[in-house]
Every structure is written in C-alpha cells, then in structure tokens.
Amino acid sequence: MNPLKSIALNISIPLLISLAFALMAYNEAKIPKAVFNLVPYLFYAISTLILWVSWHFNRNRFIFLIIPLLLIHVGFEYLSAKKATDLFLYASMLYPLHLLLFLSLRERGLFSIWGILKIAFFLIEIGVVSYFIIYPESNLIALLKIKLFTISFYPLQDLSVAIAVFVLFIIAILVMYNKYLLYNSSFFIIVVTFYMGFYFLKTPYANELSQLAIGIIIFILLIRESYRLAFYDELTSLPGRRALVEDMAKLGMKYSLAMIDIDHFKKFNDTYGHDTGDEVLKMVASKLAGIGGGGKAYRYGGEEFVLLFPSKDADESYTHTDILRNTIAKSPFSVRNKKSSKTIYINISSGVVQRNSKDRDPFAVMKRADNALYKAKKAGRNQVVKA
C-alpha cells in the first residue's frame, strides 16, 4: 500500500485547483463578470499548450485526454439544445470510462502500432457519438436513462452515476496500491471535477470552470511527469544522478554522504538474469528509501547508490548506513524460475565520508566516499567503511 503521506501530497495539488474553481462558481455573484468571460479563452489556451507540450515531449496520453474535453466544450457551445442534451448524456457516461482506459494504457509512440490503434479507437469513439447526436436513436436514449436508484441525481442519469462510482472505485484502488501515484491521484480528482461540473450544469459558469480546472490539472500533471522523467530513476523510483547533482549544489558547509554498491551484482546478473537483477535493484532501493537520520537516497547508476546526509557528521551517517546494510543483509530475496524457487540474501558495501575543508566541491567528497567503498569491498564486502 502506498504511504498515506504520499497519497495526501499527490492528491492535494489537483484537489486544491479543483476547490479554487469550485469557490469561484460558488461566489459567482461577487466576482466581476469580465473574469468569467475570459474562462473559455483560458480553456482554449491551456488546451493548446497541453497539445503542444504533449507532442513535443511525446506524452500522447495527454492528447487523448484534452481533445475529448475540447469537443465537449465546443459541442455545448454550438450545438442546438436537443443535440447538446444528447451530448451531455453520452459524455457523462463515456468520458470517465475513456479516462480510465487511457490511464491503464502504457505510454507509447503516437505512430507506433499501439499508438495507431489508440488513434483508430479514438476516431471510432468520436464517430459513434457524433452519429448518435446527428441521428438520435430513441431506444438507445431510453435505455441509457434507465432508473437504477430511488433518488434523483438530475441532470445526471442513474447510469452515469453508476459509472462514476465504478470508475472512482477503480482509481481509488490504484491510488492506494499502484506505484503510479502521480497519475492515479490526478485522474481521481479529474473524474470528480468532471462530474461536479455536469451535476451543477445549471449553476452559472460551473461547467466551464470545471473544464478549465481539468485543463490546468492535466497541464500541471504533464509538467510534474516531465520533471519525474528528468530527475527520477524509472526502475527504482529513487531520484537519479541529475537530482543528486541539483541537491548537492544546495548543500551547506557540513554534510556527509555514503557511496553504496551491491556486492557481486554482475555475477548475480550472469547467474539469474537481468530481470531478476532488476528486482534486486528495486528491493535494495526500497530499503534505501527508508534511510533514517535525515538522509536521502539516490540511484547513481548501475548497482551504485548514494546516501546524502545534510548537516550530519560521518559518525551519524555511519550508524544509519550500517543499520541499513544489516537490514538488507537479513532480508530474504526469493529467486523463482519455472521449475523451482530458492531464497538468497543480498549484501551491500558502503563508504562513508564527511566534508572537510580540503574538499573543493561535493564531487571531491564523493570521490573520497568512492575510495572508502573500494576499501570496504577489498576488506571482504558486506560492511561499511568510514573514511
């Protein structure tokens, strides 16, 4: 299960955006009308920005999120009342399912075979909805308006509410247990915001504000995702070397760090395969992420990691690093293949140093830590050496 602190942190950003626009709708009478007249233009602007950045960074999932919202917005603006009502019915059921589908699909190139299949599905989806709006089918509309609950959720139909509950339940499970917390938490708030806009459709500007809020949430998610790709290691979810360089530039005069290497990792890879090696890296990374003493773990590259301890001396860092080494050494790791399963134990070696007046920069400190790590390996591995 994901830590509650991480869930709260990731969900708070989109939630605050949604609440800010909800307060605007609630206090509509106190806000100059000129502000609300800008909302459609701001929505088009943020949508254009999302399309451009998504295309530029090859994050096509966001393209498939914003275009349907644009089409819904344009449909409500320019279709006749009857056709707009039908669009409301179809969108209230299909868009949340559409979000759930594209949340579950992996990010691939737009013009790969999977990307082309996404485009084809998307065009079929638009085509079917457009057909039933242009050529209404009374039997289909009657079926979609089936009564499921004793209370009314007007203007939402009961089936729309049932779909909302289903989609939100699935995404809530993903928020709690899936590692892609950044996406799942944002999508959860997007679905809630979408339905709130539809439910309060008759409240002046409520739906327009909800769509703008969704656009801003998607754009911020896109920026946060770009940051994650740049600064975090995809395999272990730890900050990567670029994040380490950024954080080292912010250090004060007193700090210590530890260089860590997994013992005999190349031999392990050759024996059990790279897939199992990746699992070892993830297991070790998960332990390192829980380092105490105010330390922070980074994946430096390959099987090497760095622990950074701002404002800590070498003795404190040594204590926490050695506790971590002992924890990893006592953690069983199961290696499975088609025929059998065996339990092994993983060891790490580490070199710990503290910055001194002779160090020109943090990289000089890291070099000394690397030398201490070499001594730990030469002394027999599975130990921490303090320089």
Tell me the pLDDT band of 264, cut-offs 50, 70 and 90: confident
What's the CA dihedral at 221, 17, 92, 37 to 10 degrees? -110
Tell me the pLDDT band of 248, cut-offs 50, 70 and 90: confident
Confidence at residue 227, expressed as pLDDT on a 0 to 100 scale: 82
Q: What residue type is assigned to position 143 of the chain? A: L
Residue 359 in this model has a pLDDT that exceeds 80: no
Percent of the chain residues topping a pLDDT of 90: 39
Residue 124 in this model has a pLDDT that exceeds 80: yes
φ, ψ of residue 53 in degrees (nearest 5): -65, -40
Confidence at residue 189, expressed as pLDDT on a 0 to 100 scale: 95
Other CB atoms within 10 A of residue 342 CB: 10
Tell me the pLDDT band of 360, cut-offs 50, 70 and 90: confident
Residue 339 in this model has a pLDDT that exceeds 70: no
- 178-225 pLDDT per residue, tens: 878 888 999 999 999 999 999 998 888 999 999 999 999 999 998 888
Confidence at residue 109, expressed as pLDDT on a 0 to 100 scale: 67
Residue 9 in this model has a pLDDT that exceeds 90: no
The chain-wide mean pLDDT, for the chain, equals 88
Mean pLDDT of the region 368-387: 88
Three-state helix/strand/coil letters over the chain: CCCHHHHHHHHHHHHHHHHHHHHHHHCHHHCCHHHHHCHHHHHHHHHHHHHHHHHHCCCCHHHHHHHHHHHHHHHHHHCCHHHHHHHHHHHHHHHHHHHHHHHHCCCCCCCCHHHHHHHHHHHHHHHHHHHHHHCCCHHHHHHHCCCCCCCCCCCCCHHHHHHHHHHHHHHHHHHHHCCCHHHHHHHHHHHHHHHHHHHCCCCCCHHHHHHHHHHHHHHHHHHHHHHHHHHECCCCCCECHHHHHHHHCCCCCCEEEEEEEECCHHHHHHHHCHHHHHHHHHHHHHHHCCCCCCCEEEEEECCEEEEEEECCCHHHHHHHHHHHHHHHHCCEEEEECCCCEEEEECCEEEEEEECCCCCCCHHHHHHHHHHHHHHHHHCCCCCEEEC
Confidence at residue 340, expressed as pLDDT on a 0 to 100 scale: 64
Tell me the pLDDT band of 235, cut-offs 50, 70 and 90: confident
d(CA 268, CA 326): 20
Is 264 exposed, middle or buried, given 0-12, 13-18 or 19+ CB atoms closer than 10 A? Answer: middle
Structural domains of the chain sorted by starting position, each given as residue range(s) with its CATH number in brackets: 4-231 (no CATH), 241-386 (3.30.70.270)
User: Is the distance from CB of 185 to CB of 192 less than 8 angstroms?
Assistant: no
Give pTM, 2 decimals.
0.78
Confidence at residue 271, expressed as pLDDT on a 0 to 100 scale: 78
Residue 315 in this model has a pLDDT that exceeds 70: yes
User: Is the distance from CB of 98 to CB of 125 less than 8 angstroms?
Assistant: yes
Higher-confidence residue of 357 and 36: namely 36
Confidence at residue 159, expressed as pLDDT on a 0 to 100 scale: 94
Mean pLDDT of the region 225-243: 84
φ, ψ of residue 19 in degrees (nearest 5): -65, -35
User: Is the distance from CB of 110 to CB of 181 less than 8 angstroms?
Assistant: no
Cα–Cα distance list, 341 to 329, 334, 335 (Å): 19, 7, 6
Confidence at residue 117, expressed as pLDDT on a 0 to 100 scale: 86
- 65-109 pLDDT per residue, tens: 999 999 999 999 999 999 999 999 999 999 999 999 988 887 766
Cα–Cα distance list, 73 to 49, 90, 149, 156 (Å): 17, 13, 29, 17
Q: What residue type is assigned to position 57 of the chain? A: F
N residues, the chain: 387
Higher-confidence residue of 180 and 300: namely 300
Confidence at residue 338, expressed as pLDDT on a 0 to 100 scale: 62
